[in-house]
Amino acid sequence: MQTDLPHIAIIGAGLSGLILARQLAPYAQCELFEKSRGLGGRLATRYAGDYQFDHGAPDFTATSAAFQAFVHTLEQARVVVPWHAIRVRLQPGKPPVISEYPERHYVGIPRMNQIGKYLAQDLVVRRQVRITRIHGTPYAWQLQDEQGNDYGPYDRVISTAPAVQTAVLMPDLLAVQSVSMVGCYVLMLGFTQPLPLSWQVAEVTGSAIRRIQLNHTKPGRPAGGYSMVVHATSAWTATHSEADRVWVQAQLIRSAGELVGQDLNQAEHRAVHLWRYATCPPAAEPLLYIDDAGLAACGDWCRSGTVEAAYHSACAMADTLGHDFAQQTGR
Ligand SMILES: Cc1cc2nc3c(=O)[nH]c(=O)nc-3n(C[C@H](O)[C@H](O)[C@H](O)COP(=O)(O)OP(=O)(O)OC[C@H]3O[C@@H](n4cnc5c(N)ncnc54)[C@H](O)[C@@H]3O)c2cc1C
């Protein structure tokens, strides 16, 4: 490891943090801090016996040439594949309507969290370390975790945590304080017997439910383990974010059951998860937060709440800082 390179701390090992660390590697020594055990942030997967649930982003699209090229490298590494799902539109009391989507949708294989695992290779990631405080002086910052341990000093600290969490860590980055994100309840159901459904993805309108996916039908999944993932709308989630989770689960099971015309109480496995910061509306223009004391922030929320936005936000940060570091070090 070259010690003359700038020391950078990156908070968060989701897609943004991992891409940023990979792209800054020629110019800086990067250390990532991740509060969770898993890698990949909202590209997440839960397991329950034979059942698997991609309970964060279920899939993603790639519209720009740059992101398509990146996704292509992941395809070549067999980390993602296109998912040619049968997609329908669903409304309460109406039969499903087959829906054609022009965009190609991608999923991680054998699960979504494989993307984070793959991108974290060769990076220094401190897992299960929740950063609670940044202290010190400009360009000599220290991080403190919830146990009171200190790390550093670092020339720069870059937060890729969701906007609200970044705003707590970096109160002086004033513009971050006004970014809002929306939550999402995710219901996970595992069935011992298949349900008689003719589709794999349903986009829903007119309900507490926004989307239903049959997770086990994604490519590269293990056989068995009939797994359904149900997303509530952001409005329903916001209204009930403090409600009793048993009640939330029962309501979502009932609403989803009405939509698909099945009694979903027959599920052997049932769980509900609340993402308080799942996605966000598109920003009026792409944002990049860098102050003149060595603190910075990026993430999907700087553009819009998508995987592609997270990638572009990290690339923009890496371009800006990499250019500065190259000038400083003459590389
Ligand atoms: C239910 C749901 C559905 C979605 N659907 C889609 C979709 O259909 N299409 C799409 O493109 N995108 C979708 N998304 C959004 C997509 O997952 C995100 O845009 C993308 O994964 C964000 O990546 P990121 O690296 O910017 O943030 P994250 O993945 O959130 O990474 C931030 C990381 O920071 C960590 N962290 C936070 N605070 C701290 C701290 N104090 N100390 C240490 N670590 C910390 C977190 O644990 C996390 O790992 C969905 C997300 C959810 C939750």
Residue 312 lies in a domain: yes
Residue 48 lies in a domain: no
**Cα 23 to the center of its chain, rounded Å:** 19
Range of the domain at 256: 59-111+182-279
DSSP one-letter string for 283-315: PSS---EE-TTSEEE-SGGGT-SSHHHHHHHHH
Residue to mutate, 61, 64, 115, 300, ligand 1, most ligand atoms under 8 Å from C-beta: 300
Which CATH number is 244's domain given? 3.90.660.10
Residue 161's pLDDT band (boundaries 50, 70, 90)?
Answer: very high
Residue 126 lies in a domain: yes
Looking at the fold, whether 187 and 248 belong to one and the same domain comes out as yes
Looking at the fold, whether 34 and 87 belong to one and the same domain comes out as no
Looking at the fold, whether 189 and 175 belong to one and the same domain comes out as no
Pocket of ligand 1 (CB under 6 A): 11-17, 33-36, 41-43, 56-58, 60, 130-131, 160-162, 165, 184, 186, 231, 275, 278-279, 299-300, 305-308, 310
d(CA 219, CA 216): 8
> Averaged over 246-264, what is the pLDDT?
97
Residue 47 lies in a domain: no
Looking at the fold, whether 271 and 215 belong to one and the same domain comes out as yes
Residue 170's pLDDT band (boundaries 50, 70, 90)?
Answer: very high
Question: ∠ CA 120-310-41 to the nearest 5 degrees?
Answer: 50
Looking at the fold, whether 297 and 175 belong to one and the same domain comes out as yes
Measured in degrees and rounded to the nearest 5, phi and psi for residue 277 equal -130, 85
Looking at the fold, whether 133 and 255 belong to one and the same domain comes out as no
d(CA 139, CA 28): 14
Residue to mutate, 42, 229, 277, ligand 1, most ligand atoms under 8 Å from C-beta: 42
Looking at the fold, whether 271 and 199 belong to one and the same domain comes out as yes
Residue 58's pLDDT band (boundaries 50, 70, 90)?
Answer: very high
- CA distances to 161, 183, 189 from 301, in Å: 9, 13, 29
> Averaged over 303-318, what is the pLDDT?
97
pLDDT in tens, 113-147: 999 999 999 999 999 999 999 999 999 999 999 99
Residue 135 lies in a domain: yes
Average pLDDT, the chain: 94
pLDDT in tens, 93-113: 999 999 877 789 999 999 999
Looking at the fold, whether 324 and 186 belong to one and the same domain comes out as no
Ligand 1, atom nearest to 12 Cα: 34
Residue 1 lies in a domain: no
Residue 50 lies in a domain: no
Domain count, the chain: 2
Residue 200 lies in a domain: yes
pLDDT score, position 171? 92
Looking at the fold, whether 175 and 188 belong to one and the same domain comes out as no
The domain boundary, picked from 263, 279, 295, lies at 279
Which CATH number is 313's domain given? 3.50.50.60
Looking at the fold, whether 80 and 30 belong to one and the same domain comes out as no
Is pLDDT of 228 > 70? yes
Is pLDDT of 220 > 60? yes
- Indicate the SS3 state at residue 6: coil
Looking at the fold, whether 187 and 319 belong to one and the same domain comes out as no
Q: First CA to last CA across the chain, in angstroms?
A: 15
> What is the share, in percent, of the chain residues with pLDDT greater than 70?
98
This model's pTM is above 0.75: yes
pLDDT in tens, 171-186: 988 888 889 999 999 9
The domain boundary, picked from 258, 279, 300, lies at 279
Looking at the fold, whether 124 and 152 belong to one and the same domain comes out as yes
Residue 306's pLDDT band (boundaries 50, 70, 90)?
Answer: very high
